[in-house]
Chains A and B, each alone.
Chain A
Amino acid sequence: MPTFVYMTRCDGCGHCVDICPSDIMHIDKTYRRAYNIEPNMCWECYSCVKACPQNAIDVRGYADFAPLGHSVRVVRDEEKGVIAWRIKFRNGKKDLNLMAPITTKPWGKHITKLADQPAPSQEMRDSQLLFNEPKYIRMDDGDIHTLKSNGLKMKQGVQY
């Protein structure tokens, strides 16, 4: 049933409930721990698995086509900026460890805060340009593309 929660690891913190895009991780009222209330609306997106501080959530492939006995586990570390995966096959013949960066910079520190930018001029407002354009289109002094600059003419109908 796509995601499931290990009884002995979950402490009911609710991080998975906060993050699940499908609203299917809920807290069981008797056990005060999380569980997947609607497995056939689970995308196996691993958002809850990555968010769980106790590593209590795992995935068991969809029952209508995935045999038992496999494992795909993950640890996502925002501070170190990496994600680490381990894939284990049912027959035990393959055991892959894969790591990838998730960011090149300290998390969230380098986002352009537009409230701090000087307000755009009227000329800029009347133009076709967006913030930081034309500079950021080509990272040089070139201008935005137009029909005229690219030698294009509008025609109606079949043109093949």
Chain B
Amino acid sequence: MATKTIVEDNIDILVAGAGLGGTGAAWEARYWGQDKKIVIAEKANIDRSGAVAQGLYAINCYMGTRWGENNPEDHVRYARIDLMGMVREDLLFDMARHVDSAVHHFEEWGMPIMRDPDKGSYLREGRWQIMIHGESYKPLVAEAAKTSADKVFNRVCITHLLMDDAKENRIAGAVGFNVRTGNYHVFKSKTVICGAGGASNIFKPRSVGEGAGRVWYAPWSSGSAYALMINAGAKMTQMENRIVLARFKDGYGPVGAYFLHLKTYTQNGYGEEYESKWFPALQEMVGKEYLDPELSHATHRPIPTCLRNHAIINEVNAGRGPSHMVTMPSFQDPHLEEIGWHNFLGMTVGQAVLWAATDVDPKNENPELTTSEPYVMGSHATGSGAWCSGPEDLSPPEYYWGYNRMMTVEGLFGAGDAVGGTPHAFSSGSFTEGRLAAKAACKYIDDGKAEGINVSDKQINDLKEVVFKPMEHYTVHRNEIVAGDVNPNYHNPRQFQDRLQKLMDEYGGGVTVNYMTNDKLLNIGLKKLQIMEEDLEKIAAKDFHELLRAWEIKHRHRTSECVLQHTLFRKETRWPGYYYRGDAMKLDDENWHVLTVSRRDPSTGEYTMEKAPLYHLVDEAE
């Protein structure tokens, strides 16, 4: 079935997936490894791939130490309270102390960053966000990556990581296929920096047809970061920490600039403020340490994102929906009105399309908001990802094993969604993590840690069979039926995606069950996922495009399994508004002020769960 096998040998650094994390890694790697061979493999085209493909109107992570605005520890406090305490403070501090240097480079390369006319500093949207004209953010960082990389393989979807046959638990490269030619690509590499993405489309979306593409996170974010790493035996952390977004209804247009810059606010369907009335009961659930409206009012400590979702969800369930964004007062100002529209055009054009289609002019009416289906990722207000080493000077022994951002598999590094415990990295922080991983990967090679790697032909050939099996399976069984997609011997990728989404929604806490789950439901869900895994051996792909979709759904399936394992393990409701454990509705700091860590044994498929200690570098006071 496969066409040619193309082997790229003697790679030092393979960047698997080049969004913001991967481009940062590829660019920086050249500085520390001027004689090294740097290769990028990306399933799309790096000029418009990853979550930033359509651009951004803000950079959400910028300290501004240059103007005395914030220090890294301030950002740690912010991300920590937003995530209800569950963060890797060493990784967060490390990202925050470097992130400004990435942004200053972006400006030097030509990114239009807006300036405050009075202060001369970057124009702030909020405390952490700066406003940009970022339509070309991705092409710009792609240009940078191209100046450093020896080769860029666009349209090559990585399906598996290669393991060293000479030394256990050491990475040796990756394999995949070209989604256009069907060629089998083998990358033999001393290190791999996983820059692949988080997961959209694993929970059933609110949309029912075409609108399934209008997911909040990009539809091409297929959880490949997680599946690649889990399948390689890497330890994962905080995978239960899925995120739900309060966004403009259906279009999922961003609300950050609206809240922070345009000073809009929310109301229930009857024009009333609703948030505060849900807080007393919520405070009973999570404790005053995490929700203290008076303290928040006095000190500007944010109310965690999940808790604000909780208020919307409950108000709507009480029969007082829909939730509205009050835009009318602000939008009377033509300048603010223009910013409101530019904000969509720069990063979520679909929302502008929807308002044009429905004649919603935020000057004359207050648009509807909704809470989205859950997503699994690691760079927004959530921190799912791999369990990675921190930097030498910041990390306690449990968090440090030699190389910054290296996972528990030797030679495997990560950036962006791939790294766990680092929420609020966003675009600039992901790029920064890529830079950090690249430096560490070069050091790993220079220290001689990648000597003697051996990849057997058997491993390569066995994987080739696995990669192209969906097409083989289709060919064998297609002619048993007259026409159509109903076949007793296979499902196609879309059919599997529907099955996964329904299962995750109903058992894992999606929108149709109001984000509720419990131990019973999770156990059923896991059992159904296991049966689905058996059936995934019978997935059929009629062409190379469907083969891409087949591997995306396999990656989404593995991600989902890990999410349910973690959700079952953490027996508490840590993030009301993201999901609820009906059998443990309270936050439980006595037992669960810890990070959850899992490992799936690649040979048996069994998960081992553990609690990792939570270290705090930063105290509460500012």
Q: Which residues of A contact B (CB under 8 A)?
A: 1-2, 18-23, 26, 37-47, 59, 61-72, 74, 76, 78, 81, 83, 85, 87-91, 93-94, 96, 98, 100-108, 110-115, 117, 119-120, 125, 128, 130-133, 136-140, 142, 144-147, 150, 152-160
Q: Are A21 and B220 in contact (CB under 8 A)?
A: yes
Segment 12-35 of B: residues with Cβ below 8 Å from A: 27-28, 30-32, 34
Whole-angstrom distance between the Cβ of B492 and the nearest chain A Cβ: 12
- B contacts with A, residue count (CB < 8 A): 97
Q: Are B47 and A67 in contact (CB under 8 A)?
A: no
Q: How far is the CA of A130 from the CA of B327 in the complex (A)?
A: 43
Whole-angstrom distance between the Cβ of B307 and the nearest chain A Cβ: 15
- Cβ-neighbour of A114 out of B85, B97, B147, B215 (below 8 A): B147
* Given A21-B48, A137-B97, A145-B71, A130 contacting B435 (CB threshold 8 A): yes
Question: Of the 9-residue stretches B377-385, B422-430, B531-539, B612-620, which lies at the interface with chain A?
Answer: B612-620
Q: Are A138 and B34 in contact (CB under 8 A)?
A: no
Q: Are B618 and A152 in contact (CB under 8 A)?
A: yes
* Given A65-B250, A147-B393, A21 contacting B615 (CB threshold 8 A): no
Q: Are B73 and A96 in contact (CB under 8 A)?
A: no
* Given A102-B112, A103-B136, A44 contacting B349 (CB threshold 8 A): yes
Q: Are B210 and A22 in contact (CB under 8 A)?
A: no
Whole-angstrom distance between the Cβ of A24 and the nearest chain B Cβ: 8
Residues of A within 8 A of B545 (CB): 23, 26, 37-38
Whole-angstrom distance between the Cβ of B509 and the nearest chain A Cβ: 23
Residues of B within 8 A of A76 (CB): 135
Closest to A155 in B: B616
Q: Are A20 and B44 in contact (CB under 8 A)?
A: yes
Q: Are B220 and A83 in contact (CB under 8 A)?
A: no
* Given A43-B213, A76-B135, A94-B356, A154 contacting B108 (CB threshold 8 A): no
Q: How far is the CA of A47 from the CA of B338 in the complex (A)?
A: 22
Residues of B within 8 A of A160 (CB): 85, 289-290, 620
Question: Of the 9-residue stretches B226-234, B357-365, B461-469, B514-522, which lies at the interface with chain A?
Answer: B357-365
- Cβ-neighbour of A72 out of B45, B352, B615 (below 8 A): B352
Whole-angstrom distance between the Cβ of B75 and the nearest chain A Cβ: 11
Q: Are B353 and A44 in contact (CB under 8 A)?
A: yes
Q: Are A70 and B357 in contact (CB under 8 A)?
A: yes
Segment 82-126 of B: residues with Cβ below 8 Å from A: 85, 93-94, 97-98, 100-101, 104-105, 108-112
Q: Are B31 and A120 in contact (CB under 8 A)?
A: yes
Q: How far is the CA of A21 from the CA of B212 in the complex (A)?
A: 16
Residues of B within 8 A of A101 (CB): 112, 133
Q: Are B209 and A64 in contact (CB under 8 A)?
A: yes
Q: Are B219 and A159 in contact (CB under 8 A)?
A: no
Closest to B108 in A: A110
Q: Which residues of B contact A (CB under 8 A)?
A: 27-28, 30-32, 34, 43-45, 47-50, 53-54, 65-66, 71-73, 85, 93-94, 97-98, 100-101, 104-105, 108-112, 133, 135-136, 140, 143-144, 147-148, 155, 179, 207-215, 218-220, 250, 289-290, 338, 341-342, 345-346, 349-350, 352-359, 361, 391-394, 396, 435-436, 439, 443, 446, 545, 548, 589, 593, 613-620
Q: Are B210 and A46 in contact (CB under 8 A)?
A: no
Residues of B within 8 A of A102 (CB): 112, 133, 135-136
Q: Known contacts A2-B213, A20-B45, A74-B349; can you find 5 more A-B pairs with CB under 8 A?
A: A59-B349, A114-B27, A119-B34, A136-B101, A160-B85
Q: Are B66 and A44 in contact (CB under 8 A)?
A: no
Show 22 residue pairs from A and B whose CB-CB distance is below 8 angstroms, ordered by the A residue: A19-B48, A44-B350, A45-B218, A47-B48, A63-B211, A65-B211, A65-B250, A70-B356, A72-B352, A90-B356, A90-B357, A100-B345, A110-B109, A120-B32, A125-B446, A130-B28, A133-B98, A136-B105, A137-B100, A144-B97, A156-B613, A159-B619
- Cβ-neighbour of A157 out of B48, B72, B391, B593 (below 8 A): B593
Q: How far is the CA of A41 from the CA of B111 in the complex (A)?
A: 29
Q: How far is the CA of A102 from the CA of B31 in the complex (A)?
A: 27
Residues of B within 8 A of A104 (CB): 110-112
Whole-angstrom distance between the Cβ of A124 and the nearest chain B Cβ: 9
* Given A136-B101, A145-B72, A152-B73, A64 contacting B66 (CB threshold 8 A): no
Q: How far is the CA of A42 from the CA of B105 in the complex (A)?
A: 32
Residues of B within 8 A of A63 (CB): 209-211
Q: Are B211 and A64 in contact (CB under 8 A)?
A: yes
* Given A62-B207, A100-B345, A125 contacting B443 (CB threshold 8 A): yes
Q: Are A21 and B617 in contact (CB under 8 A)?
A: no
Whole-angstrom distance between the Cβ of A16 and the nearest chain B Cβ: 11
Whole-angstrom distance between the Cβ of A160 and the nearest chain B Cβ: 4
Closest to B76 in A: A152
* Given A83-B135, A101-B133, A45 contacting B349 (CB threshold 8 A): yes
* Given A66-B354, A104-B111, A159-B616, A46 contacting B250 (CB threshold 8 A): no
Residues of B within 8 A of A91 (CB): 359
Residues of A within 8 A of B71 (CB): 145, 150
* Given A83-B135, A156-B396, A39 contacting B105 (CB threshold 8 A): no
Q: Are B49 and A21 in contact (CB under 8 A)?
A: yes
Q: How far is the CA of A148 from the CA of B109 in the complex (A)?
A: 33
Residues of B within 8 A of A66 (CB): 211, 250, 353-354, 357-358
- Cβ-neighbour of B54 out of A18, A43, A120, A158 (below 8 A): A43
Closest to A148 in B: B393
* Given A65-B211, A102-B133, A155-B615, A112 contacting B109 (CB threshold 8 A): yes
Q: How far is the CA of A96 from the CA of B361 in the complex (A)?
A: 11
- Cβ-neighbour of B358 out of A47, A67, A130, A131 (below 8 A): A67
Closest to B145 in A: A111
Residues of A within 8 A of B133 (CB): 100-102
Q: Would you list the 5 A-B pairs with minimal beta carbon distance, nearest first?
A: A105-B110, A44-B350, A45-B54, A62-B211, A160-B289
Residues of A within 8 A of B108 (CB): 110, 112
Q: How far is the CA of A111 from the CA of B108 in the complex (A)?
A: 8
Q: Are A85 and B345 in contact (CB under 8 A)?
A: yes
